[in-house]
Amino acid sequence: MVNIGYHAAKVEGNLLRLIYRVSTSFIARLPIKQSRQVPIKVYALSCERDLPEQVASLRSFLKYVGIPSQFTIMSDGSYTQASIDLLQRIHPCVDVQLLTKFQKEDLPDSVYAYAAKQAMGKKLAALMSIPINGATLYTDSDILFFQGGSDLADLAESKDAHTYYLPDCKNSLDSRLIYEEIEQQEPINAGFILFKSELNWQETVQRLSELKEPPNYFSEQTIVNLTIKRNQGIALDRHKYIMNVDDQFIYPDQFASKKIAMRHYVNDVRHKFWLSVFFKA
């Protein structure tokens, strides 16, 4: 039997994305009614293909969390000058930088090799290069923020030095980098991380250099998973910070509400990203 609700949501999501894509120049000029300043620096890594998602994600952060001290978008190199200008037009706090110029010059060779061949390698290089001086957030472009985003502002303002992470809903790890069973329990999603202090990446990145075969799509998330756990990271409230695909095959967004802070719309539920952009709870 055909799942009408699921297919209808997919078609509608694709159509809404197209409408948003052709309207980005107009949308970028729309004022954002927000005066709350948040002592946090935000970093995102994205590409030309994901421009609509990046615009929507950025605007939702400004609207529901507040105005950060800076919002740096690291370009993988594919953003056109027109897209860079568009992103920076959204708000004065936005700055677009080329990843190859942003990333540190003293990363391990294995990270540079990974970044040269795969997009997720670029993300690992980006995460390891982010300067941590006070509350610092990394967010993927397929994340939307909601009315409960004030909770994130409160976390940013708290005086602790913990790293807060987004619990994953399934195990998406590179088993070659897992040495003990406990390391893959309670997996971490690498798309949303609130840093309060520098992480020590040395031990886990060493595993990358010891791989006999090239790293894969999940190698980056595995390194992040291991590193945050070794640095005593704290899980975000999974009822406010949503990483869940249980509603993949039904029409509505089961988790979007005024109470949540954000949702990560990974590939399985990406179409729901656009339903929420246009019909937010």
pLDDT of residue 280: 73
**pTM greater than 0.75:** yes
Domain assignment present for 26: no
Domain assignment present for 19: no
pLDDT of residue 281: 54
Tell me the percentage of the chain whose pLDDT exceeds 70.
100
Domain assignment present for 192: yes
Which range marks the domain in which residue 169 is found?
4-14+40-278
Structure tokens at 24: 């980005």
Domain assignment present for 34: no
Domain assignment present for 172: yes
pLDDT of residue 1: 76
Domain assignment present for 77: yes
Helix (H) or strand (E) holding 96: strand 94-98
Convert the pLDDT of each residue in 12-61 to its tens digit: 999 999 999 999 999 999 999 999 999 999 999 999 999 999 999 999 99
**Which residue positions in the chain have pLDDT lower than 50?**
none
Count: domains in the chain: 1
pLDDT of residue 265: 98
Residue 142 and residue 154: Cα distance in Å, rounded?
Answer: 23
pLDDT of residue 111: 97
Q: What is the CATH number of the domain that holds 161?
A: 3.90.550
Beta carbons within 10 angstroms of residue 251's beta carbon: 17
Domain assignment present for 27: no
| Strand-strand pairing, 241-242 and 136-139 | unpaired
pLDDT of residue 2: 79
CA 98-20-84 angle, 5° bins? 20
Domain assignment present for 187: yes
pLDDT of residue 11: 95
Residue indicated by tokens 């940013």: 156
